[in-house]
Structure 1
Amino acid sequence: MFRITPIKNGICCIDGIYAGGVKAGFKKDDYDVGFIRSDTSLDIAYLFTTNKFQAAPIKYVKLKNIKNTNFILANSKNANALTGIEGIKDIEDILEFLSTKIDVIDPIMSSTGVIGVRLNKDKIKKAIEKFDFNERSSNKFARAIMTTDSFEKEIAFEVEGEFGKFKIGGVAKGAGMINPAMATMLCFITTDANIPQNEMQDILREINEITFNAISVDGDTSTNDSVFLMTTREGDYNKEAFKEALKKVMQKLALDIVRDGEGATKAVAFVVSGAKNKNEAKMAAKALTNSLLVKTALFGEDPNWGRIASTIGASGVECDEEKLKISFENVIVYNRGKILFDEEIEKKAHEIMKRREFKIYVDLGIGDGKFTAYGCDLSYDYVKINAEYRT
């Protein structure tokens, strides 16, 4: 048995981990360049976007084959994506400058923002000169990586059991361009758990599949999606406890991203069961999170179950209208070929859709595959935010 207790300080809940942010002038009046630093070299695992046009920071990590680091430099407002070899050279130049200010071990740079623009190296170097490398502000770092986010996303836990104890904390950013494939927008997780090196990557990938890979805001996959897991190895370790704690961290951050979807007013869980297998359940659930017609129905609080059925039928999974069941929470609107959607049922379903968060259940009645995906509605504000993104 083990206990997982919420604690404060996000990624800085770990002894020897420092973080902060400064104002470099990329945003009007907020932190926009941040750092994570460790007293010791950290073992790391990471997952990156499967977008074919991966950004320069991702290419740099792969090129250097980085397995350990003690410093991550992050900036917002510029993705450093589709910038070619020059984008990688810009990173090398910036990190070389960083090394003149503090001892670093295979430093990493992570970026988010506008695609197709070279980094302003001078501003970033001036930001580095402002860093207090001994600062321990997870919140400032969380704010520094925000773009269209409306709030900071951070969490931390202490885990105790017969094996001993360890801590784990995380920060993330993301609100738009969210349909992760192997990762999310940007996420940084620190821990002192003494995880065997050969388990880190597999555990991160496993938990990512049911958290960040189960969310969608708008169906778009970024060029910069990244998840980093870093450990000091100074705590204790239990595999079951660590997986559960990592799941809590990543699920909290993933759901915060859905809740913060650009202009979103609803956060909805699509619970698909009875699919032929887990993969088909995931296909159906993700189709529902990405459907524009479903999203607009959510925004309008319209229990238009026909859009849900249509999306399932178009998703490519095995399905049969005589076996299908659709419910808004506990209100069944369609049951194995029978339409139950009368005036009273519609009113009940509409009341459920007025909530900020709720679940829609879809039972395909075919097999035992199940998967839950998380999405949000599509509002007028989403169009406005993205129409004005560069201006």
Structure 2
Amino acid sequence: MFTILPIKGFIDQIDGFFCDGIHAGLKPNGNNDLGFIYSDTPCEVEAVFTKNRFQAAPLKHFQMYEKGFKTNFVLINSKNANAMTGQKGIDDINEVFASLNHDLLNPIMSSTGVIANPLPKEKIIKGANSFNLSAKSGENLSKAIMTTDAYPKTCMYEVKLQDGSSFKIGAVAKGAGMINPNLATMLCFICTDAAIKREDMKELLEANSHSTFNAISVDGDTSTNDTVLLLANKKSNAYDKEAFKEALRLVMHDMAMLMVADGEGAKKAVAFEVVGAKDDKQAEIAAKALSNSLLVKTALFGEDPNFGRIASTIGASQIECDETKLVISYNDVKVYENGVILFDEACEARAAEVLKNSEYKVLCNIGIGEGKFTAYGCDLGYKYVEINADYRT
């Protein structure tokens, strides 16, 4: 038995973790753009990365360390992705770390921003050398890693175990655009003082990624820098695998849902729940097709309950399906059932009311088997084009 309680605050509330964010001159508007996470005890570390074949220099740098390495420091910059920069991008990271006046163990770098620009290493070195590693400024860090995010993304939980011991787990993340299954243009840093076994870290990260970060889409694009990092300093001496797995799932789900809700220019966060598919894999294919469809997204933006776009997308996904067995609902408003169109004037009005909400569910019962999967997406409107047309400026 265990109890998981949400608590207010940032990752700096976890014993042994410190963080801060500053303005180092990367963002021209004066906002925070450089941050760090530091642990006074070396951390076990595991990560999952983007599936994009052109992984950015920080990801390649991480993977150059020996398997099973520990770290006590993560340096994070926004405004520059250090992607498509070749060997120079990796060399620049090494130069940055060699120039810092802090006592660092296998430091990790994480970057987000514009692709194919050299890392502004002089500004980063100067800024990082001004860090106070005893700072506890989670709010500053959360703002420093933002790019097109409308707001910071954080969460914290305390887990109380049956034997009276407890541990904390929390996260800080960024992500609003280039969000697509196989991670997204997102960075997520999860910190815990749980005494988790090293072999459990990768297993639980990957298990929970499938239904959280790999189940969301804003625009169907997968970035070069996507990173989910789990740092465990084990200072609580408390651990239970099932409790940690559930707490980690909650943290990752919270961060994923905040990213969908903050999709660039988005006003709607929508769950696409597919049930009754031949198997779970076919349900996943259909659900992700719905969350990625531009026609579906624009209908959501227009608050138009055009279920024809839903049905068409399911059919185009090439899963096994039959229109005489299909049921489509917006929340509890059925619009199509087993080949019968229920979409009369009154039904359309009720469905349109659902689509006025900021959050709702599109439920599709394929009527074939027991497979199920839920993907998450958002609407797509004028603001998305405006943000991305002017992204480099």
TM-score (normalised: structure 1): 0.98
Aligned AA for 1:265? K
**Offset of residue 218 of structure 1:** 0.3
Equivalent in the alignment of 1:16: 16
The 2-side partners of 1:333 and 1:355 are apart by: 17
The 2-side partners of 1:307 and 1:6 are apart by: 38
Equivalent in the alignment of 1:102: 102
The 2-side partners of 1:218 and 1:13 are apart by: 34
Aligned AA for 1:12? D
Equivalent in the alignment of 1:210: 211
The 2-side partners of 1:182 and 1:129 are apart by: 31
Aligned AA for 1:160? K
Unaligned runs of 5+ in 1: none
Contact 1:183–1:208 (Cα < 8 Å) also in 2 = no
Task: Report whether the alignment pairs 1:260 with 2:262.
Answer: yes
Contact 1:49–1:180 (Cα < 8 Å) also in 2 = no
Contact 1:12–1:169 (Cα < 8 Å) also in 2 = no
Runs of 4+ with >6 A deviation = none
**Offset of residue 78 of structure 1:** 0.4
Q: Deviations over 1:1-49 (max 9, x none)?
A: 2211122332212111000011011221211000000101100110000
Aligned AA for 1:137? S
Q: Which moved more, 1:3-12 or 1:226-235?
A: 3-12
The 2-side partners of 1:106 and 1:272 are apart by: 43
Q: 1:382 aligns with which of 384, 387, 390?
A: 384
Task: Report whether the alignment pairs 1:6 with 2:6.
Answer: yes
Q: 1:83 aligns with which of 61, 82, 85?
A: 85
State the secondary structure of the residue aligned to 1:130: coil
Equivalent in the alignment of 2:41: 40
Contact 2:16–2:235 (Cα < 8 Å) also in 1 = no
**Offset of residue 299 of structure 1:** 0.2
Alignment of 1:165-204 (within 5 A): 165-182=166-183, 185-204=186-205
Q: Deviations over 1:141-188 (max 9, x none)?
A: 111110000100000010102142110010110000001315661000
Contact 1:184–1:227 (Cα < 8 Å) also in 2 = no
Q: Deviations over 1:67-90 (max 9, x none)?
A: 311000000000000000000000
Aligned AA for 2:224? T
The 2-side partners of 1:9 and 1:56 are apart by: 31
State the secondary structure of the residue aligned to 2:129: helix
Equivalent in the alignment of 2:142: 142
**Offset of residue 104 of structure 1:** 0.6
State the secondary structure of the residue aligned to 2:229: strand
Computed over aligned residues only, the root mean square deviation of the Cα atoms, in angstroms, reads 1.0
State the secondary structure of the residue aligned to 1:332: strand
Q: Which moved more, 1:112-121 or 1:24-33?
A: 24-33
Contact 2:329–2:335 (Cα < 8 Å) also in 1 = yes
Cα 1:184/1:241, change in 2 over 3 Å: farther
Q: Deviations over 1:288-319 (max 9, x none)?
A: 01000000000000000000000000112111
Equivalent in the alignment of 1:128: 128
**Offset of residue 382 of structure 1:** 0.2
The 2-side partners of 1:92 and 1:204 are apart by: 27
The 2-side partners of 1:206 and 1:199 are apart by: 10
The 2-side partners of 1:180 and 1:313 are apart by: 20
The 2-side partners of 1:71 and 1:234 are apart by: 16
State the secondary structure of the residue aligned to 2:93: helix
Q: Percent identity?
A: 57
Cα 1:374/1:17, change in 2 over 3 Å: same
The 2-side partners of 1:97 and 1:277 are apart by: 53
State the secondary structure of the residue aligned to 2:265: coil
Cα 1:12/1:180, change in 2 over 3 Å: farther
Alignment of 1:284-303 (within 5 A): 284-303=286-305
Contact 1:172–1:185 (Cα < 8 Å) also in 2 = yes
Unaligned runs of 5+ in 2: none
Cα 1:358/1:324, change in 2 over 3 Å: same
State the secondary structure of the residue aligned to 2:260: helix
Contact 1:94–1:124 (Cα < 8 Å) also in 2 = yes
Contact 1:19–1:36 (Cα < 8 Å) also in 2 = yes
**Residue-pair matches, total:** 389
The 2-side partners of 1:293 and 1:65 are apart by: 46
Equivalent in the alignment of 1:373: 375
